[in-house]
Amino acid sequence: MRRLTFALASSLIMGCASLPPLEDQHFAITCRRGEKPDECLVRVRATVSPPPPVGQNIAAEVKLVEGRVELEIKGWRHPEPGEEERVVEAKVGYQPGVPFVFVLLDQGHRDAYTITIPESGEPRIEPVAGEFSERG
C-alpha cells in the first residue's frame, strides 16, 4: 500500500497529472505572428489552475491531422524556470490570407476555430467562443 501511495504521489509531483475538468475551467485562444515569416503562435491560456501539488502549467500535444492543427490537453505539469503558468503555445506555419483550422481538445470535448492571418493586420479567430474556450 505504501508503494502505491508513493507511486501515485510521485507521478503527481514529478510529471503530468490528469484531472477531471476543473469547475469553471475555460481556455482563452489568441494568435500572433511568430519570429519567422509565415509562422504564427497560437496561445492557449487556462483560466483556472488545479490545486497544489499538481503543476500549474498545461501539458499538451500538438498534431497536424488532415490539414487541421490539433492541440490536445494531456494534463498539468510544473512550469520550467521563467515559463509563464497556465499557458501553452503551438507554432504553426501559415500562408497569408489562407485560413487554417485550429482544434482544442480536452477530455473528450472539442472546440474548432478558423484562424486567418492577413498580409498585414491582426490575425482573425472565428467563432468568438466554443464549448469550453473563447477568443482571448
Domain of residue 113 covers: 2-135
Q: Is residue 77 pLDDT above 70, yes or no?
A: yes
User: Average pLDDT, stretch 130-136?
Assistant: 91
The DSSP symbol for 73 reads E
Q: What is the reported pLDDT for 108?
A: 87
Q: How many structural domains comprise the chain?
A: 1
The answer to whether 28 and 135 are in contact (CB under 8 A) is yes
In terms of Cβ atoms closer than 10 Å to its own Cβ (0-12, 13-18, 19+), residue 14 is exposed
Cβ pair 83, 6 in contact under 8 A: no
Taking the model in full, what pTM does it have?
0.79
Pairing of strands 27-33, 68-77: unpaired
User: What phi, psi does 83 have (nearest 5°)?
Assistant: -85, 135
Res. 3 pLDDT band, cuts 50 70 90: very low
Q: Quick one: average pLDDT of 65-91? A: 91
From edge to edge, which strands make up the β-sheet containing 68-77?
57-65, 68-77, 100-106, 109-116, 124-126
Minimum mean pLDDT among 15-19, 38-42, 52-56, 129-133: which range? 15-19
pLDDT at 126 over 50: yes
